[in-house]
């Protein structure tokens, strides 16, 4: 058996471990149930991946996040480590094949959603496997008190029954003390070793700024930034708009959201990590599972839905230990919006019943059927077809996903799958008879070698571009070829898919979840209130306020948050006369607007604006026609 240090060097290229990692790994290797509560950037994945590599057998990983599972599997495969994930939308035959591969193919990691674990075929297969470790990622999801509680996590303890002598490691980044105790109880961990890193980040300055002109403020923050930055927004359109504005201001930027292809996402991510692009403007999913140390700024220009999500997103700044800033820019309208979006627009039990019935009708699923069936989904078309409120519907879909009724995958650029059913000579004869078949078919044959041997993923957009036509034309021709039984075709034209995780039973499916639906609404309301208290706080160190939310009892002021900096500035006792003197001195050189004065003088912005008004009232300075101050 290679040592953990040898493994981390061989596969990850690291010469040592981050704090707590080595202790956690040793606990697992000693066959102890283990809990790892590490903040974002603490390296949770290595805490189960390294010991699993050090032991004979396969590690079963439970995770609720399909995208993160996929990313981790791709990352492990890139290191030469055999790993696979079983997600929604696969046939019974494919499921059987994947489970056989995991059992007999010398795989080291099998990633599963908690819903997949409920299937008897999956449980029976895992029972036959040589399992060396059970890893529960995002373990706080098992607690009804935790952020993102998922009822399907309640049954994860079945793994303990299947392999009672195998250690379990539970991992999370955000758990209050109450959630931590509940997680240990619900997972039935046996006298676990609990490793908890302090949530305090001494190098990270938490700031909050009330700001109407957010683009201007971002420009001031980033124009001299030599590292990377993330700007978080709430929508795809905002990501594109803000990125364009920053580009116009000379800040190299790109946007990142679910509406760009997987290949393009990877290209943009690499450009950002390599420093070719300094700033990514992104929706909230960006950053999850991404290891990039040199992030100097994380900027939220719309309020986060909870302190749990904010702490994770802000924690992506300064992972290298150098000074970094996490700042929220908000205005009064943002406070109303966050409550409207995350509390007022939460669906009732009746809303969710109606949505679930309508989804089943939309996809023509019969009563008692539909379990693990996968469907391409066009959200806009669905809402328009039934005149549904988009925000309530979106929140309802996410609630159904969290409650384990469906699995909602928001993936752009999912490739269609095509398989030729006839020999090449028969196909060529058809090409001679039908010009459209020839153009589309020969384009695909040139682009995808070996397509006669097995089913292949094809990108309809690329095929259309190559032949100089439209995607609609390509689809029309392929459907005609399918009708003539020349090909087998699975079309994916949308940027989302839905997998039904249980058979259709309409109200009988939703009724048992009534309490969870109501509890979710109460929890969301409490989380939004906590966010508002955080941004409105003017009497406490922001870092201490955040870590106290997670049960960290640290008492020392951070000294670098916006509260501490304002406190330090006020303690320097600059008088109005001192500030007036510097303003007059600066304006004697040339007229300046208030922003330029703030940028050039090292005083608190509020103090400068107050003194400017005093000087204006006294007549010592005046404003010209372009709103610049000048000395009278």
Classified by CATH at the fold level, domain 204-330 comes out as Rossmann fold (3.40.50)
> For residue 413, what pLDDT is reported?
44
Strand partners, 255: 281
Q: What is the CATH number of domain 340-412+496-524?
A: 1.10.10.10
Q: What is the bridge-based pairing of β-strands 497-500 and 621-623?
A: unpaired
Task: Give the sheet arrangement for strand 279-282, strand by strand.
Answer: 204-210, 324-330, 295-300, 228-232, 279-282, 253-256
Domains 340-412+496-524 and 574-631 belong to one CATH topology: yes
At a CB cut-off of 8 Å and minimum separation 6, what does 307 contact?
A: 527, 530, 531, 534, 546, 549
> Who's near 302: CB < 8 A, 6+ residues apart?
232, 233, 234, 238, 330, 334, 337, 338
Average pLDDT by consecutive 10-residue portion of the chain (632 residues)? 89 89 95 89 88 96 81 88 83 87 93 87 94 91 67 82 94 81 87 89 93 92 91 90 93 86 79 93 76 90 91 90 94 90 89 96 93 83 91 91 83 67 88 91 80 72 76 85 88 74 93 88 89 93 92 88 80 76 90 86 80 88 89 83
Enumerate the β-bridge partners of residue 458.
Answer: 416
Residue 609 confidence (pLDDT): 85
Alpha-carbon distance of 256 to 610, in angstroms, equals 40
How far apart CA 288 and CA 327 sit, in angstroms, is 19
Residue 207 phi/psi, 5° resolution? Answer: -130, 155
Residue 43 DSSP one-character state: -
C-beta of residue 629 within 8 angstroms of C-beta of residue 598 = no
Helix (H) or strand (E) holding 135, with range, is: strand 131-136
C-alpha to C-alpha distance for 586 and 608, rounded to whole angstroms:
13
Which pLDDT score is estimated for 283?
86
Query: Residue 164 has what pLDDT?
Result: 92
Q: Which CATH number fits domain 574-631: 3.40.50.280, 1.10.10.10, 3.40.50.880, 3.40.50.510?
A: 1.10.10.10
pLDDT of residue 412: 45
| Helix H or strand E encompassing 229 | strand 228-232
Counted residue by residue, the chain has a size of 632
Name the DSSP class of 341. Answer: I
- How many CB atoms lie under 10 A from the CB of residue 10? 13
* Residue 352 CB partners (closer than 8 Å, separation 6+): 396, 399, 400, 510, 513, 517
Q: Per the CATH hierarchy, to which homologous superfamily does domain 4-196 belong? A: P-loop containing nucleotide triphosphate hydrolases (3.40.50.300)
3-state secondary structure 250-318: CCCEEEECCCCCHHHHHHHHHHHHCCCCCEEEECCCCCCCCCCCCEEEEEECCCCCCHHHHHHHHCCCC
- Cα–Cα distances in angstroms (integers) from residue 213 to residues 248, 390, 428, 429, in the given order: 16, 28, 62, 65
What residues does each domain of the chain span? Answer: 4-196, 204-330, 340-412+496-524, 416-490, 574-631
- Tell me what percent of the chain is helix, strand and coil, each rounded to the nearest 5: 50, 15, 35
Q: Specify the DSSP class assigned to residue 145.
A: T
Q: How far apart are CA 479 and CA 486, in angstroms?
A: 10
Q: What angle do CA 560, 564, 567 make, to 5 degrees?
A: 140
């Amino acid at each position: 058996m290679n040592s953990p240090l040898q493994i981390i060097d061989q596969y990850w290229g690291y010469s040592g471990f981050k704090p707590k990692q080595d202790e956690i790994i040793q606990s697992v290797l000693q066959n102890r149930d283990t809990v790892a509560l590490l903040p974002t950037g603490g390296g949770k994945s290595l805490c189960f991946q390294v010991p699993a590599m050090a032991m004979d057998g396969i590690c079963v990983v439970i995770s609720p996040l399909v995208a993160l599972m996929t990313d981790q599997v791709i990352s492990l495969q890139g290191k030469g480590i055999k790993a696979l994930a079983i997600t929604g939308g696969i046939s019974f035959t494919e499921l059987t094949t994947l489970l056989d591969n995991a059992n007999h193919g010398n795989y080291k990691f099998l990633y599963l959603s908690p819903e997949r674990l409920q299937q008897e075929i999956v449980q029976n297969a895992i029972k036959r496997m040589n399992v060396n470790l059970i890893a529960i990622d995002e373990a706080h999801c098992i607690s009804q008190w935790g952020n993102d509680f998922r009822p399907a996590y309640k049954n994860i303890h079945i793994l303990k029954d299947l392999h009672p002598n195998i250690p379990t490691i539970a991992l999370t980044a955000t758990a209050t003390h109450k959630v931590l105790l509940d997680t240990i109880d619900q997972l039935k961990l046996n006298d676990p070793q609990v490793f908890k890193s302090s949530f305090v980040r001494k190098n990270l300055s938490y700031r909050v700024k009330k700001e109407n002109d957010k683009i201007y403020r971002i420009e001031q923050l980033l124009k001299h930034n030599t590292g990377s930055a993330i700007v978080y927004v709430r929508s795809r359109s905002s990501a594109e708009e803000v990125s364009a504005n920053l580009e116009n201001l000379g800040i190299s930027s790109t946007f990142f959201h679910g509406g760009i292809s997987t290949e393009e996402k990877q290209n943009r991510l690499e450009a950002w990590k390599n420093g070719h692009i300094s700033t990514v403007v992104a929706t909230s999913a960006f950053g999850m599972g991404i290891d990039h140390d040199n992030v100097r700024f994380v900027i939220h220009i719309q309020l986060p839905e909870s302190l749990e999500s904010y702490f994770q997103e802000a924690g992506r700044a300064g992972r290298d230990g150098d000074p970094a800033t996490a700042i929220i820019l908000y205005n009064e309208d943002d406070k109303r919006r966050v409550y409207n979006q995350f509390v007022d627009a939460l669906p009732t039990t009746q809303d969710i019943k109606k949505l679930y019935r309508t989804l089943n009708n939309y996809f023509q699923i019969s009563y008692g059927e539909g379990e693990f069936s996968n469907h391409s989904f066009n959200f806009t078309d669905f809402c328009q077809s039934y005149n549904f409120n988009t925000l309530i519907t979106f929140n309802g879909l996410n609630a159904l996903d969290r409650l384990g009724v469906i699995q909602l995958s928001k993936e752009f650029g999912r490739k269609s799958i095509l398989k030729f059913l006839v020999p090449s000579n028969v196909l060529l004869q058809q090409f001679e008879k039908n010009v459209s078949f020839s153009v589309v078919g020969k384009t695909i044959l040139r682009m995808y070698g070996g397509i006669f041997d097995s089913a292949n993923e094809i990108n309809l957009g690329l095929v259309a571009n190559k032949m100089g036509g439209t995607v609609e034309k390509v689809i029309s021709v392929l459907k005609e070829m399918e009708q003539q039984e020349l090909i087998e075709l699975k079309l994916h034209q949308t940027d989302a898919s839905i997998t039904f995780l249980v058979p259709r039973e309409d109200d009988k499916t939703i009724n048992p979840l009534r309490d969870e639906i109501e509890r979710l609404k109460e929890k969301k309301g409490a989380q939004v209130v906590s966010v508002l208290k955080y941004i409105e706080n003017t009497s406490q160190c922001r870092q201490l306020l955040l870590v106290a939310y997670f049960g960290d009892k640290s008492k020392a002021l951070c000294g670098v948050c916006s509260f501490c900096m304002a406190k330090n500035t006020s303690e320097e006792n600059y008088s109005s006369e001192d500030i007036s003197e510097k303003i007059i001195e600066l304006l004697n050189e040339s007229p300046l607007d208030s922003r330029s004065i703030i940028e050039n003088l090292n005083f608190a912005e509020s103090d400068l604006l107050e003194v400017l008004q005093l000087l204006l009232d006294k007549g010592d300075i005046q404003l010209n026609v372009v709103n610049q101050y000048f000395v009278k």
